[in-house]
Structure 1
């Protein structure tokens, strides 16, 4: 680990995220994961000549769905 880039090493609170900043970051990630999930699903449904690709895209979407749910849970904890 590069300790020069370990911002919390000296426990300086000015480096920490406040509740609202953290919520904004998680909300942005949630929206990105949701959009990727949607794109993977739509693309998977439109692929007709490559079953392996279709399945991989569906698996990507499933992974995004899980991350989306986890992010949603974290955002709800911040309320």
Structure 2
């Protein structure tokens, strides 16, 4: 283990993640998930020749939707 990268080894809080920074990370992740979800849904709607791929892309979008809701829940807890 590289102890130079073990951030809390010395108990120093210089690497502390502030609420604002955490909120920004969660919001950025939420925005990314929404974008991916839309892209997967659009692609799924446009595929007519490969039913399996169409279904997989739809399932990807469903996964993004679930993560989007989870991220929203976490953001609400921070307010």
Determine the structure 1 residue equivalent to 2:15: 15
Instruction: Give yes or no for contact 1:27–1:75 (8 Å, CA) kept in 2.
Output: yes
**TM-score normalized with structure 1 length:** 0.92
Equivalenced residues, count: 79
- Shift in Å at residue 33 of structure 1? 0.4
Summarize deviations over 1:19-67 as a string: whole Å, max 9, x none. Answer: 0000001000000000000000010000000000000000100110011
Give the distance between the partners of 1:2 and 1:34, measured in 2 at CA. 36
Give the distance between the partners of 1:76 and 1:2, measured in 2 at CA. 36
Q: Unpaired segments of 5 or more residues in structure 1?
A: none
**TM-score normalized with structure 2 length:** 0.92
Determine the structure 1 residue equivalent to 2:30: 30
Aligned-residue CA RMSD (Å): 1.2
